[in-house]
């Protein structure tokens, strides 16, 4: 039961992170067409996307550790 819960939790977490990445990417694209280019805001949004992608990688790494695939 705990394994099923953990797998479901990880699935939902990764789904939410992916949705947030898509939302920030859309915001990045649309805001620059409307508001013009602001390099500091651009860097901020790109940094968010990088951080969220790293979170996805860490989810996979944690899963590998829990399942004994990495030492």
- pTM for the predicted model, two decimal places: 0.81
**1-36, pLDDT tens digit by residue?**
567 888 899 999 999 999 999 999 998 888 766 666
- Structural domain includes residue 71: no
The domain in which residue 51 lies consists of: 2-66
DSSP 3-17: HHHHHHHHHHHHHHH
Question: Does the pLDDT of residue 51 top 90, yes or no?
Answer: yes
- Residue 71 pLDDT level (bands cut at 50, 70, 90): low
State the alpha helices, DSSP H only, in the chain: 2-34, 39-66
Q: Give residue 41's pLDDT.
A: 83
Interatomic CA distance for residues 48 and 51, integer angstroms: 5
- Structural domain includes residue 48: yes
Q: Give residue 53's pLDDT.
A: 98
Count of structural domains, the chain: 1
- Residue 58 pLDDT level (bands cut at 50, 70, 90): very high
């Amino acid at each position: 039961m705990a394994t099923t819960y953990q797998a479901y939790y990880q699935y939902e977490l990764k789904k939410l992170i992916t949705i947030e990445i898509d939302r920030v990417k859309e915001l990045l694209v649309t805001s620059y067409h409307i508001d013009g280019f602001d390099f500091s805001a651009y860097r901020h949004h790109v940094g968010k996307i990088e951080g969220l992608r790293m979170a996805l990688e860490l989810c996979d790494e944690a899963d590998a550790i829990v399942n004994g695939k990495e030492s």
